[in-house]
Structure 1
Amino acid sequence: MAKSIKSTKEKKAASTNELTAKQFIERLKLLQSDEELKKIQRYFKLEKGDYGYGDKFMGVKMGQLFALAKEFGDLPVTEIEKLLESPVHEVRAGAVSIMDKASRNKKIDGERLEAFYKLYMRRHDRINNWDLVDLGCLHMTGSYLYGKPRNGLYKLAKSKNIWERRTAILSTCYFIKQGELDDTFEIAELLVNDKEDLVHKATGWMLRFAGAKEPKRLVAFLDRHAATMPRTLLRYAIEHFTQKQRESYMKKAK
């Protein structure tokens, strides 16, 4: 019996190991196009001094990349890390998308989800653009932390790194879906006067999402901060308010 179990595990390992980072990159290269590359270069801020400066792109449509990532859902974590090490944006996006797609599978092994989370946090230096953060945080990070201590998110919210701060607030998205809003509002308190536009947008977005669950709580937050918070953050947070309410709050904004 023991021999049979070992054999099954070996076969499973062999099957998993058939997928490699190299194979993913080779498949990804088949999807690149000059036309898409031009669109991407217009969309992302790549000039010197911009957040995307120095990033390299292949020119792959995100829809195609996501479909490929789904095919590589069993890629070993060690191979996913190799993708994260790539200087090419779409390859790194593929790495995070693989973790995102796999984490949404209700049958995902708890150890694998933990490995995803730890890899994301350990290699946050490679999660260096807003879309990569969004791919990793709108489900994966929060689903792992659900029911666990979330101290790490508060530490990230105080980070000097813009992408770590964006990770902190967007990781609460999963909690909001479960009806838990405390972390969203508490982390928003830490970020309400952030200096970065991409943190303003993320924070306003999550406040709006939380406010859909508890409108009075959002109103209370805005009444405390509307006069001093960045206008972009406020505008995102009140997007679903009535026109009269929006006008009233925007008049208070700095």
Structure 2
Amino acid sequence: MTYSVHTYVQEMIGLYTAHTDEKYAQWSKSYLRNQFEFLGIRTPLRRKLTYQFIKENGLPQKEELKDVVFSLWDLPEREYQKAALDILEKSKKVLTSDDMPWLSDLIVKKSWWDTVDTLSAHIMGDLLTTNDKIILSFPDKWIDDENIWLQRSAILYQLYYKGETDEERLFRYIVRRATSDEFFVQKAIGWILREYAKTCPESVLSFVTNHTLKPLSKREALKHFKANIL
């Protein structure tokens, strides 16, 4: 069955609003510092509802994907942005480098760690493995941008690259933002170093030893083997 963008989104709204929980909505709103409204749908149920919806209605056609995602992104309740991310993750095979500009717009729209980390590490992280040109056009520019969420995205897009990590670029980005006073940038630095240490512990230990990092970044980076080096 083929739906228009409007109908597709309205069908999802109808499904979600049938499962609202005001008490959990208030808790969720407080957890994210009162920045967003919530329906109060717990993550396991939300994913179940979304995947059942996709099973019954299909994914948006490629030419409609952007409009569906932005329509969901514009809705006030946070669960709809999460639904948009679920749809994007299921649609990764049809995404190309031409989609990077509008995907990047999502980083700076209704920004918080819960959307930014999925966009950077899971969705754009896959796209950015394809060619160096889009890395030069996006992460290399994000790291110099004043927006902290673009900085965080530049640092985290290689989060799950393991042995495919461009170590030189990663360490260069970290040095660029090592003095940041922003919690979410410091945390991102520590997180990716901790993750990369699972693949190249010697490289991470050498980097941390020879560079000045904020205490939070250093503590997070060395969390798994700190006891062995103090």
Between the aligned residues of both structures, percent identity stands at 21
Q: 2:49 aligns with which of 47, 68, 72?
A: 68
Query: How far did residue 44 of structure 1 move?
Result: 1.6
Q: TM-score, normalised by structure 1?
A: 0.76
- What is the total number of aligned residue pairs between the two structures? 218
Larger Rg: 1
Quote the RMSD (CA, aligned, Å): 2.3
Whole-angstrom distance in 2 between the partners of 1:135 and 1:188: 20
Aligned pair in 2 of structure 1 residues 240, 127: CA closer, same or farther (>3 Å)?
same
Query: How far did residue 113 of structure 1 move?
Result: 4.5
State whether residues 113 and 144 of structure 1, in contact with CA within 8 Å, keep that contact through their aligned partners in structure 2.
yes
Show the counterpart of 1:126.
109
Alignment pair present for 1:34 and 2:22: yes
Show the counterpart of 2:32.
44
Residue deviations 1:166-210 (CA, integer Å, cap 9, x gap): 111111124336354333222222222211111111211111111
**5 Å matches for 1:1-254?**
15=2, 17=4, 20-46=8-34, 52=35, 55-70=36-51, 71-72=53-54, 74-75=59-60, 76-77=64-65, 78-103=67-92, 108-109=93-94, 112-114=95-97, 117-149=100-132, 150-151=135-136, 152-176=138-162, 178-225=164-211, 228-245=212-229, 248=230
The amino acid across from 1:81 in the alignment is: F
The amino acid across from 1:15 in the alignment is: T
State whether residues 127 and 163 of structure 1, in contact with CA within 8 Å, keep that contact through their aligned partners in structure 2.
no
Unpaired segments ≥5 residues, structure 1: 1-13, 47-51, 249-254
Aligned pair in 2 of structure 1 residues 118, 66: CA closer, same or farther (>3 Å)?
farther
Structure 1's consecutive aligned runs of 4 or more residues displaced over 4 angstroms after TM superposition are: 16-19, 113-116
State whether residues 179 and 213 of structure 1, in contact with CA within 8 Å, keep that contact through their aligned partners in structure 2.
no
Query: How far did residue 41 of structure 1 move?
Result: 2.8
Q: TM-score, normalised by structure 2?
A: 0.83
Show the counterpart of 1:251.
none
* 3-state SS, counterpart of residue 198 of structure 2: helix
State whether residues 143 and 174 of structure 1, in contact with CA within 8 Å, keep that contact through their aligned partners in structure 2.
no
